[in-house]
Amino acid sequence: MGLSFDAPPSRWQRLLTPLPLRLLLWLVVTAAVGPAYLAAPHHVADYFDDHQFHSWEQSNRITVLRYGELPQWNPYWCGGTLGVAAPEDTFFSPDYWLLRLPFGVSLGRHLAIIAMMIMGMEGMFRLARRFGSSLTGAVVAAVTYASYVRFAEFIREGAINFVVGFELLPWALLSLVLGMQSWRWRLAGGIFVGWAFVAAGTYPGPFAAIVLAFVALTLAITAKARGQERGWLPPLKSLLGIGGVAFLLSACKLVPLLVFLAQFKRVWLPVEANMAQDLLLSLLPHYGLVLGLALVGLIVADGLTSLLFAAAAFFFVLAMGDFGPLSPYHLLKQVPLFKQLRVPSRYLVPVVLFLCLGAGRTIGRLETAAALLVANSLQALKRLPKLARIAQPVGYVLAAAAAVAALVLPVRAHIASVSVAADQVYMVEPPLFLQRPFAQSRGNRRDAHIFAPLNLGSLYCITGIPVPESPLLRGDLAREEYALDPAAKVVRRDWTPNSLQLAVEATAATTVLVNQNYDRHWRSSLGTVVNHQGLLAVQVPAGKHVLQLQFRDGLLLTCIAVSALTLAVLLGLWLAHGLGMVLGWWRQWRQLPWLAVPTSPLPAANAESMPLLASDPTDDR
């Protein structure tokens, strides 16, 4: 399919081959692109959406570490809402468990940005190489995509989950291509796409699905058009394999998400449309070079670059939004999972991805043409020995300088255009922690991050999807649990985010009210859980009782079990594969002798034996 670059790398390019050196390069680029992400590592962004996401992640961390519970219910937000089942909750994301849980939410979010940018560059580098980029072109593509200017906007707004998911997109696409021949890559692709969904994948997850579907169908149709016998099957098989694994891994998030969206519909009335020239003008200042290089590949009739450009054009039309009943965006909005998406300009993310891949291929072709020009020129100069002795080193220096310039100049120019200064994002000090009994407070949605660490709920809040909030919620109650009958006594004996233990003493049957929103998943050890004007309530009989309230979502727990079992199977397969490799190395090692004894006498150390040493194939001269 022409998805590899055949020209051998030069000596200086060989420096990019070892993974540790590439990772060091990615770290340097990340530091240059986002000094703000390295500065003030414990601070919070100066934007209220970041405070909201910070609050949710903090409440999850408190629930796990302080109370030892799965955060099924979040009592700290809007008077009590769904926890991990909420669409924008990031609890199941691996970067949450690896970074926010052990290091704290503030520092963990900074580390997640850095780690995912590095991972995005490495994934884009590998993908670009697979799609025919030279090493130089792959570096340019990796840096340009992973530091996409809108990612900085997402970070300013607190949408770290967008950055996580979109940096995984190159890995998912690479898995699709390699998965046409390897089942292991199909499993890996399922992990990457599943990760995009569990990282609060309200956008990156569906975007990854449509990108993979578009590429797989394009490859299948192309193979069919070329008359390749059953050539259409591998891309579809790879797509289905990745999709199946991704669904099972993300069932803990995807199924509750669909149930949530069916129960609480997101209402978005404005019809969103963008003018093509406006989108182009937003791309040109930062991505004019990659657009121009992709156009060069299209003009010279490079088949694969033409397909990549067509993919970029398709997503560009999607980014234009709902400009008519037959527009792709309007049709996509009829699909349940895509119905709740908005801001069509976000489809520029895959536009930039495909343009970078096309530009990488063009850079490789230009490098090859330049190398051939230099080589042919030097070959012609060999007829003039005196001139050749001068021109040959000059030619090599000029060729090396041109190659370095092809890498450094566009990367440096791009970094300068997208760099985020240290004092532009994280300007709010981290919240303080206080151990005190939980209570609801009036709150403040613009400083939402401070309440959960104080063990306070914020009643004044906002969510992307409207959820019911009881009008009876109060932020100034003497007791958070009380009875409708003034003569009855209710005393809190124990409290966790998912459970309450109350001592109730009533002379007659009464209703115990909890200063939290009602949800159908609350269960009581006594009486009947009821919805009292949106408030969580329990009807209890007369007498002295110990009432145990517990939140338990059976569907969520079942989905978590499915995802956990799938992850365990995948880890088992990889461990078995790794163990097989180790055993193979062990068997080879055991077959080696302890002492390497030559089978024939050593040659005499005389002048006649010297040519043998000089022609030794292991000689690295």
Summarised one tens digit per residue, pLDDT across range 307-328 is 899 999 999 999 999 999 999 9
Rounded Cα distance, 574 and 184, in Å: 9
What HEC string does 442-475 produce? CCCHHHHHHCHHHCEEECCCCCCCCCCCCCCCCC
Query: Across the strands, what pairs with 496?
Result: 499
pLDDT of residue 5: 38
Between the CA of residue 317 and those of 50, 120, 142, 290, 494, what are the distances in Å? 30, 25, 24, 18, 56
DSSP conformation class of 167: H
Enter the DSSP assignment of 273: B
- What is d(CA 441, CA 500) in angstroms, rounded to the nearest whole number? 18
Task: Using alpha carbons, select from 74, 78, 73, 115 the residue that is nearest to residue 93.
Answer: 115
pLDDT reported for residue 616: 38
Residue 536: phi and psi, rounded to 5, are -70, 125
- Indicate the pTM of the whole model: 0.87
Residues paired with residue 44 on neighbouring β-strands, in sequence order: 428
pLDDT of residue 336: 76
Protein fold of 481-552: Immunoglobulin-like (2.60.40)
H-state helical runs in 474-618 = 554-591, 610-614
**CA 221, CA 233: separation in Å to the nearest integer?**
10
pLDDT of residue 318: 95
Angle of the 251-263 helix axis to the 233-249 helix axis, nearest 10: 80
Residue 410 has a pLDDT of 73
Cα–Cα distance between 291 and 283 in angstroms, integer?
9
- Amino acid at position 592, single letter: L
pLDDT at residue 36, rounded to an integer: 83
- Domain residue spans in the chain? 1-69+83-161+360-450, 168-264+553-592, 481-552
- Site of tokens 């909201």: 52
The 10 Å CB-count burial string (b at 16+, else e) for 343-373 is ebbbbbbbbbbbbbbbbbbbbbbbbeeebee
**Distance separating alpha carbons of residues 615 and 621, to the nearest angstrom:** 10
DSSP 112-156: HHHHHHHHHHHHHHHHHHHTT--HHHHHHHHHHHHT-HHHHHHHH
Give pLDDT, residue 7: 46
Contacts of 581 (CB under 8 A, 6+ apart): none
Q: Report yes or no: 51 and 173 within 8 Å, Cβ to Cβ.
A: no
Which residues of the chain carry a pLDDT beneath 70? 1-16, 201, 267-269, 371, 373-407, 464, 595-621
Instruction: Give the pair of three-digit tokens for residue 591.
Output: 């077959």
